[in-house]
Structure 1
Amino acid sequence: MSQLYASLFYQKNVTEIFSDHALVSYMVEAEVALAQAQAQIGVIPQTAADVIERAAKTVLEHIDFDDLATATGLAGNIAIPFVKQLTAIVKQADEDAARYVHWGATSQDILDTACILQCRDALKIVQNQVQQCYDTALSQAQTYRYQVMMGRTWLQQALPITLGHKLARWASAFKRDLDRIEAIKDRVLTAQLGGAVGSLASLQDQGSAVVHAYAKQLSLSAAACTWHGERDRIVEIASVLGMITGSLGKMARDWSLMMQTEIAEVFEPTAKGRGGSSTMPHKRNPVAAASVLAAANRVPALMSSIYQSMVQEHERSLGGWHAEWLCLPEIFQLTAGALERTLDVLQGMEVNADNMHRNIECTHGLIMAEAIMMALAPHMGRLNAHHVVEAACKKAVTEHLHLKNVISNLEEVTQYFNASQLDEIFKPESYLGNIQDQIDAVLQDAKGAAK
């Protein structure tokens, strides 16, 4: 990603986790853990493991990244030239210890484990971001629980809802995202160690013990068997991120539509230089929504590649595994970036209650057609009530009248309802169903989760 665009689509800390230097650092961590685990089991001398660990502390100062980049293109993955450079660095400290660098492992062991370490740290950031979005959406749902606005279906005005209800639905989605992240951790944050074909034959009868010690060193779970060719863990991580980004896209679509000039109900926060136009001084563009929607557009395409990468050959793959290196970091970065911008909007959104009221009234009562129909239904049956109200709606539209005025002159209606009762039926806030119960349920769910 160009640095010019990074601040628009990505999140700084997650981007750093997937940087070249960070990847090498995670690979170093995996190599040190491998050496210490093997020393613990007695596969290599403890003195050698300690030398490797000491030397690793200065690896980033000595790694030649230009040479590493060139050699990666020739080797097919970064681990091969990385191990060569790491071995040379350890050899400078202790030639005998250098013999035990990368003992019994294959390149994919180190790269997969480094990837899982990256995912673990990036997931912590994403989880924290989702939690902040959840908390903020809950707070805003409470604040605006009684703020009546138009509910819209098929982009048309439908029935009244409240802004708090829309925010409660968003909060509920964030809660499910948090549950998903927590649910996958034990399953996906798993160390990889299998050797050339997953058998760890080079470690003879000590392979299983080393695997468990290795995973413990890294605070990861130990796999029952190697997963070089089974990529469902990577896919599951990416899938959860994809769902998060998709939900954010839905929210961004909503608030960007509510920012349209003719609607003007909710606005992104203002700041100097934000949302302007190069030619139109009056514009206030939904720039955060643009970033989130771009991520929601891009991530599914990346997910397609991740899913396709599951189809691998035999014990270790050609090409499928490699495609993950391009896609997974970008999925993480786009998700974190979208979360950052969504949180900004949730925290600082501006609400125009007057315009919400104006938009409710712009149909001259037509949005309350269902309400009057359901009020009449017990007296004349739903189908007859539908016919009466439908005819009244057509008359109101044709003659540019308020629906209540038309309804108030119909004998079929006035025999059951007086003027004050009709006034009450036509109040949007009187036709909100169980919205407040739903908001309470979302708020109560949050309290239960906090215990």
Structure 2
Amino acid sequence: MSQLYASLFYQPDVTAIFSDRALLGYMIQAEVALAKAQGKINVIPRSAATIIEQIGQNALAEIDFDGLAVATGFAGNIAIPFVKQFTAIVQQQDEEASRYVHWGATSQDVIDTAMILQCRDALGLIEQQLQSAYQISLKQAECYRNQVMIGRTWLQQALPITLGHKFARYAAALKRDLDRLQAMKTRVLTAQLGGAVGSLASLQNQGSAVVQAFAIELKLTTPECTWHGERDRIVEIASVLAIIVGNLGKIARDWSLLMQTEIAEVFEPTAKGRGGSSTMPHKRNPVAAASILAAANRVPALMASVYQSMVQEHERALGAWHAEWLVIPEIFQLCAGALERANDVLENMQVNPEAMQRNLESTDGLIMAEAVMMALASKIGRLNAHHVVEQACQQAVEQQTHLKNILSPLDEVKNHFTPSDLDALFKPESYLGNIQAQIDAVLQAAQGESK
């Protein structure tokens, strides 16, 4: 990603986790953990493990990045030239210890474990952002629970809702995202150590003990068996991120539509240089929504690559595994960037109650046709009531008058409703169904989580 576009789509802390330098740091961490684990159970001399650990603390500064970049193209993966360089760095200080660097491991063990460590740290940041988005949505659901607005289906005005109900729905979706993220951790944050074909034959009868000690060193889950060729863990991580981005895309789509000039019910927060046009001084563009929607457009395409990469050959794959290296970092960065922008807008969204009221009134009562029909149905039957109100709606549109003006003289209406009864039926706040109960349920669920 170009630095010019990074501030539009990404989030700097997660981007840093997936930087080249950070990747090498995680690979060093994996190599050090392997040596320490093997030293503890006497697979390699403990003195060698100690020296490898000590050297590993500063080894990143000695890595030849340019040389590594060139060598990776020839080697087929970054681990092969990396292990050579790391071994040479250890050798400069201790010849004996350098013999035990990368003992019994294969390239994929180091790369996969480093990726899992990256994912763990990045998921920690994303979880914080997601929790923030959830809490903000809860707060806004309470704040705007009584702010009546028009609900829309198929992009058309439908029935009244409240802005708080929209936020409650967002909160509920974000809570499900948090639950998904938590539920997958023990499955996916798992160490990888299998050697050449997953048998760890080079460690003879110590393989299982080393895997367990290795995982403990890294505070990762111990796998039941090697997962070199089974990529469901990586796919599950990416899938949860894709769902988060999709939920954020839905939210961004909503507020971008509500920002349309003719609607003008909510707006993204303002700032100098934000949302303008290079040619039209009056424009106030939903730039945060654009970034999030771009991510929601891009991530599904990236997910196609991740799903395709599940089909691998035998014990270790050719090409499919390699595709993950490009895709997973971008999905993480797009997800974190979308969350950062969504949090800003959810927290600082500007609400225009006057426009909401204007739009509620813009159909001259047509949005309350169902309310009138259901009230009349209890008197004359649903089909008869539907026929009466439907014809009245058609006449109101043709005559460009309020629906109440058409209904009030009708015998079917006058025989059952007083003028004040009819007025009450046309109040949007009187036809909100169980919206308040839904908001309460979302808020109460959150309170239960915090106890």
TM-score after normalising by structure 1: 1.00
Taking the TM superposition and a 5 Å limit, the aligned residue runs for 1:122-133 are: 122-133=122-133
* Structure-1 residue corresponding to 2:422: 422
SS of the residue corresponding to residue 401 of structure 1 reads coil
Q: Which amino acid aligns with 2:66?
A: D
Q: Distance in 2 between matches of 1:60 and 1:304?
A: 34
Q: Distance in 1 between matches of 2:380 and 2:389?
A: 12
Q: Distance in 1 between matches of 2:117 and 2:106?
A: 17
Q: Distance in 1 between matches of 2:61 and 2:343?
A: 37
* Structure-2 residue corresponding to 1:57: 57
* Structure-2 residue corresponding to 1:264: 264
* Structure-1 residue corresponding to 2:117: 117
Deviations along 1:142-192, one digit per CA (max 9) or x if unpaired, are 000000001000000000000000000000011001000000000000000
SS of the residue corresponding to residue 150 of structure 1 reads strand
* Structure-2 residue corresponding to 1:32: 32
Q: Distance in 2 between matches of 1:255 and 1:18?
A: 31
Q: Which amino acid aligns with 2:356?
A: M
Q: Distance in 1 between matches of 2:299 and 2:268?
A: 23
SS of the residue corresponding to residue 138 of structure 1 reads helix
SS of the residue corresponding to residue 329 of structure 2 reads helix
Taking the TM superposition and a 5 Å limit, the aligned residue runs for 1:292-303 are: 292-303=292-303
* Structure-2 residue corresponding to 1:75: 75
Q: Distance in 1 between matches of 2:431 and 2:61?
A: 67
Q: Distance in 2 between matches of 1:386 and 1:357?
A: 26
* Structure-2 residue corresponding to 1:156: 156
* Structure-1 residue corresponding to 2:18: 18
Q: Distance in 1 between matches of 2:325 and 2:208?
A: 28
Q: Distance in 1 between matches of 2:407 and 2:352?
A: 31
SS of the residue corresponding to residue 150 of structure 2 reads strand
* Structure-2 residue corresponding to 1:277: 277
* Structure-2 residue corresponding to 1:184: 184
Q: Which amino acid aligns with 1:167?
A: F
SS of the residue corresponding to residue 158 of structure 1 reads strand
Q: Distance in 2 between matches of 1:33 and 1:210?
A: 10
Taking the TM superposition and a 5 Å limit, the aligned residue runs for 1:199-348 are: 199-348=199-348
Q: Which amino acid aligns with 1:25?
A: G
Q: Distance in 2 between matches of 1:289 and 1:57?
A: 42
Q: Distance in 1 between matches of 2:50 and 2:419?
A: 88
Q: Which amino acid aligns with 2:212?
A: H
SS of the residue corresponding to residue 33 of structure 2 reads helix
SS of the residue corresponding to residue 149 of structure 2 reads strand
1:435 and 2:439 equivalent? no
Q: Distance in 2 between matches of 1:118 and 1:21?
A: 12
SS of the residue corresponding to residue 157 of structure 1 reads strand
Aligned-residue offset at 1:445: 0.5
Q: Distance in 1 between matches of 2:34 and 2:314?
A: 25
Aligned-residue offset at 1:307: 0.2
Q: Distance in 1 between matches of 2:413 and 2:252?
A: 42
* Structure-2 residue corresponding to 1:358: 358
1:167 and 2:167 equivalent? yes
Aligned-residue offset at 1:57: 1.2
Q: Distance in 1 between matches of 2:238 and 2:142?
A: 32
SS of the residue corresponding to residue 206 of structure 1 reads helix
Q: Which amino acid aligns with 2:5?
A: Y
* Structure-1 residue corresponding to 2:98: 98
Q: Distance in 2 between matches of 1:236 and 1:450?
A: 27
Q: Distance in 1 between matches of 2:258 and 2:401?
A: 27
Aligned-residue offset at 1:272: 0.3
Q: Distance in 1 between matches of 2:148 and 2:237?
A: 38
SS of the residue corresponding to residue 53 of structure 2 reads helix
Q: Which amino acid aligns with 2:196?
A: A
Q: Which amino acid aligns with 2:27?
A: M
Q: Which runs of 5+ in 2 are unaligned?
A: none
State the number of aligned residues.
451
Aligned-residue offset at 1:214: 0.2
Q: Which amino acid aligns with 1:277?
A: S
Q: Distance in 2 between matches of 1:407 and 1:449?
A: 49
Q: Distance in 1 between matches of 2:248 and 2:233?
A: 23
Aligned-residue offset at 1:61: 1.1
Aligned-residue offset at 1:323: 0.3
Aligned-residue offset at 1:121: 0.1
Q: Distance in 2 between matches of 1:33 and 1:239?
A: 29
SS of the residue corresponding to residue 400 of structure 2 reads coil
Deviations along 1:342-389, one digit per CA (max 9) or x if unpaired, are 000011100000000000100000000000000001111111100000
Aligned-residue offset at 1:405: 1.1
Q: Distance in 2 between matches of 1:394 and 1:405?
A: 12
Deviations along 1:203-231, one digit per CA (max 9) or x if unpaired, are 00000000000000000000000000000
Q: Which amino acid aligns with 1:332?
A: F
Q: Which amino acid aligns with 1:215?
A: A
Deviations along 1:390-422, one digit per CA (max 9) or x if unpaired, are 000000000011001111111100100000011
* Structure-1 residue corresponding to 2:42: 42
Q: Distance in 2 between matches of 1:226 and 1:41?
A: 20
Aligned-residue offset at 1:60: 1.2
Q: Distance in 2 between matches of 1:208 and 1:399?
A: 82
Aligned-residue offset at 1:58: 1.4
* Structure-2 residue corresponding to 1:404: 404
Q: Which amino acid aligns with 2:174?
A: F
- Over 3 Å off, 4+ runs: none
Aligned-residue offset at 1:283: 0.2
Q: Distance in 1 between matches of 2:108 and 2:319?
A: 13
* Structure-1 residue corresponding to 2:3: 3
Q: Which amino acid aligns with 1:348?
A: N
SS of the residue corresponding to residue 263 of structure 1 reads coil
RMSD across aligned positions (CA): 0.4
* Structure-1 residue corresponding to 2:394: 394
1:382 and 2:391 equivalent? no
Q: Which amino acid aligns with 1:337?
A: G
SS of the residue corresponding to residue 284 of structure 2 reads coil
SS of the residue corresponding to residue 151 of structure 2 reads strand
* Structure-1 residue corresponding to 2:195: 195
Q: Which runs of 5+ in 1 are unaligned?
A: none
Aligned-residue offset at 1:29: 0.2
